[in-house]
Amino acid sequence: MNRDDLLTAFRRMLLIRKMEERIAVLYGQGAIPGFVHLSVGQEAVAVGTLFRARPDDIITSTHRGHGHVLAKGLDPSGMFAELTGKATGTCRGRGGSMHVADPALGIFGANGIVGAGLPIAAGAAHALRVRDSDALAIAFFGDGAVATGAFHESVNLAALWRLPIVFVCENNGFSEFSRTSDQHAVPLSSRAAGYGLPFRAVDGNDVEAVEAAMAEVFDEVRAGGGPQFVEAVTLRVRGHYEGDPQRYRAGETPDDAPEDPLRRTRARLAALGVPAGELDQVEDEVARQVAEAETFAAGSDEPDPATVLDYVASPRPDVAERPQATLQARTADATKPVSTSRILRQAMRDALADDPRVFLAGIDVGGGNVFGLTRGLAEEFPGRVLDTPISETAIMGLGVGAAMAGLRPVVELMYLDFLGTCLDQLMNQAAKLRFMTGGAVTVPMVVRTQFGSGRSSGSQHSQSLEALLAHIPGLTVVMPSTPEDAYGLLRTAIDDDNPVIFIENRLLYERKAAMPAPGHRVPLGKARVTRAGTDLTIVSWSRMARLALDAAETLAAEGIDAEVIDLRTIAPLDRRTVLESLGRTNRLLIAHEAVTEFGVGAELAALAVHEGFWSLDAPVARVGAPTAPTPYAPSLERAWIPDETGIAAAARWLMSDPYPRRRSG
């Protein structure tokens, strides 16, 4: 660095230090309501790394991310307002200290989950490469994150795909409350070597050393050299969080450490001939900047409580559902029945053809996937149907980061049962990022997955887990039952600006229908009455919606006229259609493949007894699986899985003598 560059770096480090010193005071005074993790002592890593970064470069950060976001150009006033929970905050008071973000500046967010930013950065790097940009992604993480699965999956994917990403580990000697030496069996250089990544170690308290190393790394990555791994050994002056008693430091006094990056940089500037008065002036100017930011935040209003539900989801355009017969036929033999699996493949093919931002990724999707649903698409759309390692967290993070960066990913989770291996990227990232950024970002990704009991797939390949997903605000959950809906809902989901979990039932893959026309769409969040009736309402979805229709025909032969509703979308729930039907029939039966207890059926029952109470002439009945994992043996599975016989029996009970029908007039 020359004199002017070093003075600029000094100013930027001072801004971080003085901001955080005031943050500590404000936190102690109660002006900052949430957790605070300060990066005092680590300023040289943030400033040196990002000194040569461009506005179109993308960063992800950690719970200790104030320095990173300020070094990338975040407005100090907006940051102070965010930390104090004000409407003028960078994220409108929805993010706080651990989740500061500004996607417009390439700041894809600090992150409260250790290691969670790594797969998102990989997704962003993929999007940058797809756009033929020489911009890059920089993933900051602490040494503690190296023990997480997210780290290994992300680094492996980046190395395999040679993504334009720089992994920057801030090794400050501690992983939360433990010494780094107690956490890792091998040094970070060995980790990098294990994935074939170039590795650099740098003195993280020397801003010139960091900047020089990063300038070379950035040039190599921008030139197509693939990802690199940098370890910056630095200093954590304060505790893991404000208020941490730091008993694990065993008498150390980090405040007096000679390697403090600001003292070191000031001494070098003095050696270069910068007068002490000029340096003092810089400190005064930064102090005034911080004071002005604090004043701005103090004078800002808190968010209006009436806006508490704002930014949970991106707005959805109205989608008109037209009868298939009104759409232009795809081919002359458009009425020829084809399987649902072929219809789903066509929906993906049409989406890929219509929008260059769409891509598919997942385990073996390039080879056709385990059920052949993507067969042939990789050859038809080179570079846009991508096989991944068996790394569900990396796959979901790929989707999140790529969606934030402007693509429309369709990522596959091979079995719904594997949700537990990657839930964080859906629950804490995809579902919440629009909200936590105050609406500054959209996450237009689709997660295709499948489930289904009835074929002895056992307890780990059969589960119906829609209730778990529907309980997460920000996620849309879709479960089609017909081939036409499978096409129309998938196309609408890919067009949508929200994260959508698209759950297919594999036992429906061979059900046949005419191939839908390319313009066919089905609105999300809109149920369909598949059979009109007057005596009771049966609500179901996915394969059970087909069985509910079968049960209704059996009941009709007995003089019971059942109305059947196919929810199609689980979240958001179409309450209006259910309540209107209940108002006509006065009885409600819910049937689902998932275990009965704590399921979506319980939510529907609560809806009926709350908003539909005065329409009820009988208790709400539910049909579902008993509370046990899915059995393997066919005899046990038949006893466990709900079927049309059970639906019909529950309907007869609702229509029995203890619950006479309401008389008109």
CA separation for the pair 500, 495 (Å, rounded): 10
Token pair of 376 as six digits: 């042939």
**Confidence check: pLDDT of 591 > 70:** yes
Q: What is the mean pLDDT of the chain?
A: 91
**Confidence check: pLDDT of 60 > 80:** yes
Residue 171, beta-bridge partner list: 233
* Least confident stretch, 130-134, 329-333, 341-345: 329-333
* Least confident stretch, 328-332, 440-444, 542-546: 328-332
Q: Which residue has the higher pLDDT, 649 or 519?
A: 649
Q: Provide CB contacts within 8 A for 225, sequence distance 6+.
A: 198
Residue of 139, 120, 122 whose CA lies nearest to 62:
139
CA separation for the pair 203, 364 (Å, rounded): 42
* pLDDT score at 663: 46
CA separation for the pair 282, 535 (Å, rounded): 80
Residue 502, beta-bridge partner list: 448, 478
For residues 451-458, average pLDDT: 88
Residue ranges of domains in the chain: 3-242, 338-514, 528-654
pLDDT in tens, 545-560: 999 999 999 999 999 9
**Confidence check: pLDDT of 332 > 80:** no
Residue of 355, 352, 364, 429 whose CA lies nearest to 391:
364
**Confidence check: pLDDT of 653 > 60:** yes
What topology is assigned to 3-242 in CATH?
Rossmann fold (3.40.50)
**Confidence check: pLDDT of 260 > 80:** yes
Do residues 234 and 209 lie in contact, with contact meaning Cβ atoms separated by under 8 Å? no
**Confidence check: pLDDT of 292 > 50:** yes
* Element housing 325 (H / E): none
Residue carrying the six token digits 């197509």 = 224
Token pair of 256 as six digits: 């007096």
For residues 596-617, average pLDDT: 96
Give percent of the chain above pLDDT 70.
92
CA separation for the pair 500, 481 (Å, rounded): 17
pLDDT class for 568, splitting at 50, 70, 90?
very high
pLDDT class for 665, splitting at 50, 70, 90?
very low
Residue 59, beta-bridge partner list: 107, 138
* Least confident stretch, 284-293, 419-428, 453-462: 453-462
Token pair of 183 as six digits: 């956490």
Q: Which residues of 109-130 are buried (b: 16+ CB within 10 A; e: fewer)?
A: bbbbbbbbbbbbbbbbbbbbbb
**Confidence check: pLDDT of 245 > 90:** no
For residues 508-532, average pLDDT: 95
* pLDDT score at 331: 59
For residues 99-122, average pLDDT: 93
> Do the first three CATH levels of 3-242 and 528-654 match, i.e. the same topology?
yes
* pLDDT score at 38: 85
The number of CA neighbours under 13 Å toward the Cβ of 101 is 30
Residue 200, beta-bridge partner list: 230
CA separation for the pair 444, 49 (Å, rounded): 30
**Confidence check: pLDDT of 664 > 50:** no
- Report how far apart the first and last C-alpha atoms of the chain are (Å, whole number): 90
pLDDT in tens, 121-173: 999 999 999 999 999 999 999 988 888 899 999 999 999 999 999 999 998 76
Domain 528-654 = CATH 3.20.20.80? no
* pLDDT score at 519: 87
Do residues 86 and 302 lie in contact, with contact meaning Cβ atoms separated by under 8 Å? yes
For residues 204-212, average pLDDT: 95
Q: Which residue has the higher pLDDT, 524 or 371?
A: 524
Positive/negative CA dihedral, 594, 597, 603, 607: positive
**Confidence check: pLDDT of 613 > 50:** yes
pLDDT class for 183, splitting at 50, 70, 90?
low
Q: State whether residue 4 is helix, strand or coil.
A: helix
* Least confident stretch, 62-66, 102-106, 540-544, 599-603: 62-66
Token pair of 67 as six digits: 């320095």
**Confidence check: pLDDT of 180 > 80:** no
Domain 338-514 = CATH 3.40.640.10? no
Do residues 386 and 349 lie in contact, with contact meaning Cβ atoms separated by under 8 Å? no
Q: Which residues of 257-294 are buried (b: 16+ CB within 10 A; e: fewer)?
A: eebbbbebbbebbeeeebeeeebeebbeebeebbeebb
Beta strands in 99-235 (DSSP E): 137-142, 165-171, 174-175, 178-179, 199-203, 228-233
| 98-101: Cβ within 8 A, 24+ apart | 98/34, 98/35, 98/37, 98/63, 98/65, 99/436, 99/437, 100/61, 100/65, 100/66, 100/69, 100/74, 101/69, 101/433, 101/436, 101/437, 101/440, 101/441
The pTM (predicted TM-score) of the whole model is: 0.94
For residues 310-335, average pLDDT: 76
> Hey, which residues are catalytic here?
392, 461
